[in-house]
Homo-oligomer: A and B are copies of this chain.
Amino acid sequence: MTQDHTPVPSAKQDAGLTADKVRDVAALIAGGDLDGAVRLVGPLYAVDVAALLNQLDDTQRSVLVEKLRGRLDAEVLADLDDSVREKVVEQLGPAAVATAVTELETDDAVEVLANLDDQVRTSVLDAVPHAEREQIEESLAYPEESAGRLMQRDFVAVPEEWSVGQALDYLHDTEGLPDRFYEVFVIDRGRHPVGTLPLDRFLRSRRTKLVGAIMDRDPTLIPIGLDQEQVAIQFQKYDLLSAGVVDGSGRLAGVIMIDDVVDVIREEVEEDMAHLGGVGDVSLARSVADTARSRFSWLLVNLLTAIVAPIVISTFEGAIQQMVALAVLMPVVASMGGNSGTQTLTVAVRALATQSLTRANAGRVVLKEVLVGAANGLAFAVIVGVVGGYWFGLPQLGIAFGGAMLINMTAAALAGILVPLGLVKLRVDPAVASSVFVTTVTDAIGYLSFLGLSAWLVL
């Protein structure tokens, strides 16, 4: 990743959002020039308006939203961070939000409504026209993070017996088709999908050809209850632009589009990254109280497991009293073990998520990780052994230091791969829980091996 924050020189440049523009808007609002602020916001795309609102502080945002009332693109609501959206929805009130939700595709409408308080959601939904409300409520009935939530309900479908010309005429003459579609579904009389027609092939085929003759007969179909992570894997594997979603009886219920899946792909890796870093999510916009609360539980778990270190160390109090050098060096062993374990863990969690670490190669990967840990353990054992021995003028201390390093870095690698594999077996998300376990192991073994070896060899 390069951190190049120069603006992108594209045709959309003038409509883009930069840090300077955010500051300009904030300054205009602070200075009371709301019309000036609106002039800057006007040319922005919905997604940029959302990014702007995410970055303003609560007061500025609320002033700007009030000024934009009635002119705010419905898409902006869909693109806001959850915690910001909550506040904007509250400010706009149920009627205005209902109008926006009605304009959106089902998947975006569901995105807006899913994370609201039950009460707020009900009051918004009550103001949505019946037909849209029914569709949205149906989607909301599917589990969070399932294909049913991700899909939009409008799609284009034609029967297999039609000619390309008939299908073209249908597209020309039919009102109410979805705004965007990336493939045409081919369905039988029972609404079961029997194939798909990519638009490029559709365009290149003459009017007389039969749809059934040029369609792809083996479409990737997504069961409506499938987890969104699995949906994303299908899209990535088969380079899909969109995919039909089928209900329990195999009927076409909706379609998932690549742009929604792109968000899922990013979110799923981000989620793993957040969990490895000990946070629930990486969103910036939550309040201090919410953020502190959500991190507290993580830190509490860490504190409980961090008790292992004092317990181990306290059993060697006598040794430390005899030789304070032990207290000086012991954090180094623990720290190197922690880092080594985190390295293995990071690779393992990602490999599990992408299904490149499976039962088929787990044994080999464990062996490899242990060899890597032991190889680096040996290298650092020599380094710290020599340095430590010289520093304190005690070769035996060097040997204990180096020996502990070798033991702990090997154990760290083993823990880094076995802990996530074990959690998967227990059907627990390895990203959430692994790092605490791994550092507990490396702390315990680090202090135990160093203090134990020292007590034995040096004292």
- What is the chain B residue whose CB lies nearest that of A23? B360
Alpha-carbon separation in the docked complex, A221 to B10 (Å): 5
Would you list which residues of chain A between 64 and 112 have a CB under 8 Å from chain B? none
- What is the chain B residue whose CB lies nearest that of A3? B424
Q: Looking at the complex, which one of B268, B277, B313 makes contact with A342 (CB distance below 8 Å)?
A: B277
Q: Distance (Å) between the CB of A228 and the closest chain B CB? A: 9
- What is the chain B residue whose CB lies nearest that of A233? B8
A contact patch SS:
helix
Alpha-carbon separation in the docked complex, A26 to B254 (Å): 39
B223, A277: Cβ atoms under 8 Å?
Answer: no
Q: Looking at the complex, which one of B11, B177, B357 makes contact with A218 (CB distance below 8 Å)?
A: B11
B278, A346: Cβ atoms under 8 Å?
Answer: yes
Stoichiometry (number of copies): 2
Contacts of A310 in B (CB 8 A): 328-329, 331-332
Q: Looking at the complex, which one of B282, B303, B321 makes contact with A346 (CB distance below 8 Å)?
A: B282
Known contacts A350-B282, A356-B51: A220-B12 contact under CB 8 Å: yes
B380, A303: Cβ atoms under 8 Å?
Answer: yes
B3, A335: Cβ atoms under 8 Å?
Answer: no
State which size class the interface on A falls in. 35 or more
A317, B306: Cβ atoms under 8 Å?
Answer: no
Contacts of A12 in B (CB 8 A): 218, 220, 234, 238
Interface check A230, CB cutoff 8 A: yes
What are 23 A-B pairs at a CB distance below 8 A? A1-B229, A2-B145, A3-B424, A3-B429, A8-B226, A56-B361, A168-B203, A199-B202, A202-B203, A236-B266, A266-B269, A273-B350, A283-B347, A289-B375, A292-B371, A295-B340, A295-B343, A296-B379, A299-B376, A302-B339, A309-B331, A310-B332, A313-B331
Q: Can you list the 9 inter-chain pairs with the closest CB atoms, starting with the nearest?
A: A277-B346, A22-B360, A19-B358, A327-B327, A199-B199, A239-B259, A269-B269, A282-B350, A273-B273
